[in-house]
Amino acid sequence: MQRALLVLGMASCGIVACGGGEGQPGPGMLVADATLGSLRAQIVDADQSSVAPTHIRGNDVEVVFHDATIGILSMGVFAFVPEGNGFSAKVWQLPVAVFGEPAVGRVYAVKATSDQTMPDTAVMSFEETQMGMGDWTATGGSIVVKSVVGRTVGFSFESVTLEAAGLGATGTFSIVGDLTVNDIDATCNCLD
């Protein structure tokens, strides 16, 4: 369990941005396009939450850790903006870890805390820094594997509920939508 938390926590490390897209997403949308994947999701039921109403386009999808033998896949979607001199600042991130190797139709129940001994569970959070700070932890809902083609996996967020967890966040909201990871074995070197 500690390693799974470490892996999910490491998704918050500053990873060098890659990829990118044109234009900005509409209100309530989380959109990302990168070499290693894409995200098309919507923030819903956010009326009582301090989550920002709009977000810049994400430009990085990373596999932070994957080990099929122990059944852990940790990944993240990030939005970075250049600060100059080769540095970037993270504007938002969506780290996700699933316990159990992805297979079409597999459903992961989203839990507030990780326990890799419980297959078919997942943990997820959302952090933003663009309009103040906020950190939310997922407490319910599910993540469904919609497709597996080679090492490319398509996930669907099914009403994943997130609750305020710190950094000035308030309220709850849900995320629905799709995440595609183009190669679950193309792990970043961000744990080294």
Q: In this predicted model, what pLDDT tens digit does every residue of 176-185 receive, in sequence order? A: 999 999 999 9
| Residue 102 to residue 29: CA distance in whole angstroms | 25
Task: Please give the structure tokens belonging to residue 142.
Answer: 């599910």
Interval 17-41: pLDDT, tens: 333 345 677 788 999 999 999 999 9
Domain extent at residue 147? 2-181
**Strand 60-67 versus strand 37-44 pairing type:** unpaired
Is 35 a domain residue? Answer: yes
| Residue 72 to residue 79: CA distance in whole angstroms | 24
Is 22 a domain residue? Answer: yes
Interval 133-151: pLDDT, tens: 899 999 999 999 999 999 9
Residue 103's pLDDT is what? 97
The answer, yes or no, to whether residue 3 has pLDDT greater than 60, is no
Is 170 a domain residue? Answer: yes
Is 189 a domain residue? Answer: no
Interval 87-130: pLDDT, tens: 888 899 999 999 999 999 999 999 998 877 889 999 999 999 86
Task: Please give the structure tokens belonging to residue 119.
Answer: 């297959």
Residue 140's pLDDT is what? 97
Is 188 a domain residue? Answer: no
Is 192 a domain residue? Answer: no
Is 80 a domain residue? Answer: yes
The answer, yes or no, to whether residue 8 has pLDDT greater than 90, is no
Is 105 a domain residue? Answer: yes
Q: What mean pLDDT comes out for the span 60-73?
A: 95
For residue 174, give Cα distances in angstroms to 69, 88, 110, 163: 31, 28, 12, 9
What 3-state DSSP class applies to 4? Answer: helix
Banded pLDDT at 167 (limits 50, 70, 90): confident
Q: How many domains does the chain have?
A: 1
